[in-house]
Amino acid sequence: MTMDEFDVVVVGCGIAGLSAAITAQRNGARVAILERAPFEERGGNTRYTESFWRMKNADQVADDFEDRFAANAGGWPDPGILRDAVRDRENQPAVLRSLGIVDPDLIATIAEDAPKALKWLEEFGVTFDYLPLYFLSQSTTRMGPIGGGLALVEALGGYIDAEPDRFTVLYETAARGLIHDDSGAVAGVRAIGRGNKPLEIRAPSVILASGGFEGNPEMLSHYIGPQAQFIRPVSRGGHYNRGEGVRMALEAGAAPCGDFGSFHAQPVDPRSADIEPVVLNYSYGLLINDAGHRFTDEAPAMVDASYEVVTRIIMAQRHGIAFAVFDAGLDDVDNWQVTVRSREAPLEADTLEDLAKAMQIDPGEFSATVAAYNAACPDAAGFDPLRPDGLATQGLEPRKSHWARPLLRPPFRAWPIICSNCFTFGGVKVDERARVINTEGDAIPGLYAAGEVVGLYYRVYTGATSVMRGAVTGRLAGADAALRRNTPR
């Protein structure tokens, strides 16, 4: 079947796709939306997130916003190429226009447009506020919509549902390939519906807003390596994101951007079926792998600023698993329960040997590890769980930099932790209009990317910026795509 009565096709209806579709429609476009999930599960990762935004207040992003992106700008790009960044984009050499880097212009656009996007969302009845999070204290400022990402999906999705004449939404329909015309412009999408039924939707603009490839084990193994077998999406929504958007754009010649070998890592309890069952109390205890050994500094900094790096080190362990181990001293930390979202009870025992057995770890190795750690702990005076307190181990490798207190008193408790994948970093390069840039540094006519399909992150995720990336790039893409509606097909 072929459908051709549209100006814009949007692939995906998370925050990026919904923002794009509504913006395009409000700018006069006839919009089709393709969504792999059924209606009840639409919204991908957005549906399950708490959707924190790295904001100081409703008018400004957090003070550290641009510094954090700069600190995580990736490898060591050639300064001889970067020096031309001072020119406007059209006059930059192609090698720079297509370079996969954290693009300062795009970061500046997101910083400037995030407050506008937040206020736009409030027009749909969403309220942003400073909401509690699973950290006891934070190294930055965050706001979020009351009701989380689900409130965003319901508010924007509700608008679309109320306008059936203006939006055609095809659920359980997955985009697979782009259609091009003879001029090299994008002219639509090939998709597959229930029962393996093929479908073509023709339109002069396509907005790829189908998330990353966190739900695609083949791409994860390809880009991340064999340890990818031990990670899983942090929410049900991630399973729907199988990377077709990224792949379609790359096949159309898009310049890759974002760190393909990495992803936003979160430490979760593998036993739990909860959404985002994080275990973030480990900096007050020890991390032990299944050989019974410590393998990393459990407390290099505040947990909200360091958990991603630590979690990736857990992924690198033999079976991609570790245990967060505590003695009764965990209860000295007021309110530590908010840092554990898993509702599975911890393993518990009165002796270290019995705890080792419950963890199925060699008791001798485990006891020796704890004894060496205990012997390296300083005097616990000055323990302060709410700030990096400098209580560091002495002469132990790897050291524990803060909150180092010996494990002596029963009950001993342990939570298993694996690395989960919130979303992947590998995507494509876009300009400030969310147009996809090809490997020659030029925009691909009619092709846009929004949300996770846009490559933005290297090294460590600048926390609480992915939903705002989706809202901002979605709105940019929708506005620009609508301008092409009168272009002859």
- Residue 235 interacting with ligand FAD (CB under 6 A): yes
Minimal distance in Å, beta carbon 347 to ligand FAD? 25
HSE-up of 262 (CA within 13 Å, CB side)? 20
Minimal distance in Å, beta carbon 173 to ligand FAD? 6
Site string for ligand FAD, 409-448 (x = CB under 6 A): -------------xx-------------------------
DSSP state, residue 58: T
Angle at 458 between CA 274 and CA 22, to 5 degrees: 65
Task: Report the greatest alpha carbon distance in the chain.
Answer: 76
- Residue 283 interacting with ligand FAD (CB under 6 A): no
Name the token pair of 398. Answer: 């790897």
- Residue 272 interacting with ligand FAD (CB under 6 A): no
- Residue 258 interacting with ligand FAD (CB under 6 A): no
Alpha helices per DSSP H over 131-194: 148-161
Between 42 and 475, name the residue whose CB sits nearer to ligand FAD.
Answer: 42
Q: Which stretch binds ligand FAD (CB under 6 A): 112-120, 233-241, 318-326, 432-440?
A: 233-241
- Residue 240 interacting with ligand FAD (CB under 6 A): yes
408-432 burial by CB neighbour count: b if 16+ within 10 A, else e? eeeebbbbbbbbbbbbbbbbbbbbb
Minimal distance in Å, beta carbon 214 to ligand FAD? 8
Instruction: Give residues 462-481 in contact with ligand FAD (rule: CB under 6 A).
Output: 464-467, 470
Between 19 and 289, name the residue whose CB sits nearer to ligand FAD.
Answer: 19
Site string for ligand FAD, 191-230 (x = CB under 6 A): ------------------xxx-------------------
Instruction: Give residues 143-172 in contact with ligand FAD (rule: CB under 6 A).
Output: 149
Q: Which stretch binds ligand FAD (CB under 6 A): 120-128, 332-340, 377-385, 459-467?
A: 459-467
Whole-angstrom distance, CA of residue 421 vs CA of residue 255: 24
For residue 242, the surrounding DSSP H or E stretch is none
- Residue 174 interacting with ligand FAD (CB under 6 A): yes
Q: Are 407 and 327 in contact (CB under 8 A)?
A: yes
Name the token pair of 263. Answer: 């992803």
The closest alpha carbon to 282, from 241, 311, 252, 320, belongs to 311
Between 54 and 413, name the residue whose CB sits nearer to ligand FAD.
Answer: 54
DSSP state, residue 277: -
Q: Are 51 and 467 in contact (CB under 8 A)?
A: yes
- Residue 43 interacting with ligand FAD (CB under 6 A): yes
Whole-angstrom distance, CA of residue 199 vs CA of residue 189: 8
Q: Is 203 helix (H, G, I), strand (E, B) or coil?
A: coil
Minimal distance in Å, beta carbon 346 to ligand FAD? 22
Minimal distance in Å, beta carbon 278 to ligand FAD? 9
Q: Which stretch binds ligand FAD (CB under 6 A): 28-36, 69-77, 116-124, 297-305?
A: 28-36
Q: Are 276 and 234 in contact (CB under 8 A)?
A: yes
Beta bridge partners of 136: none
Q: Which of 7, 9, 21, 42 binds ligand FAD (CB under 6 A)?
A: 42
Name the token pair of 386. Answer: 């709410």
Q: Which stretch binds ligand FAD (CB under 6 A): 6-14, 303-311, 315-323, 373-381?
A: 6-14
Alpha helices per DSSP H over 334-394: 352-359, 363-376
Q: Which of 23, 25, 45, 272 binds ligand FAD (CB under 6 A)?
A: 45
Site string for ligand FAD, 365-404 (x = CB under 6 A): ----------------------------------------
Number of residues that bind ligand FAD (CB under 6 A): 46
- Residue 49 interacting with ligand FAD (CB under 6 A): yes
Q: Which of 145, 157, 188, 237 binds ligand FAD (CB under 6 A)?
A: 237
Minimal distance in Å, beta carbon 12 to ligand FAD? 3
Burial, 90: exposed, middle or buried (Cβ in 10 Å; 0-12, 13-18, 19+)?
A: exposed
Whole-angstrom distance, CA of residue 434 vs CA of residue 45: 20
Q: Which stretch binds ligand FAD (CB under 6 A): 37-45, 120-128, 322-330, 365-373?
A: 37-45
Q: Which of 8, 9, 34, 314 binds ligand FAD (CB under 6 A)?
A: 34
Whole-angstrom distance, CA of residue 312 vs CA of residue 316: 6
- Residue 16 interacting with ligand FAD (CB under 6 A): yes
- In sequence order, which residues have a C-beta less than 8 Å from that of residue 470 and are 6 or more positions away? 14, 15, 16, 19, 46, 209, 450, 451, 452
Between 244 and 290, name the residue whose CB sits nearer to ligand FAD.
Answer: 244
Q: For the chain, count helices (H), then strands (E).
A: 12, 22
Q: Are 211 and 419 in contact (CB under 8 A)?
A: no
Q: Is 175 helix (H, G, I), strand (E, B) or coil?
A: strand
Binding residues (CB under 6 A) for ligand FAD: these are: 11-17, 34-37, 42-46, 48-52, 149, 174-175, 209-211, 234-235, 237-238, 240-242, 244, 275-276, 422-423, 451-452, 464-467, 470
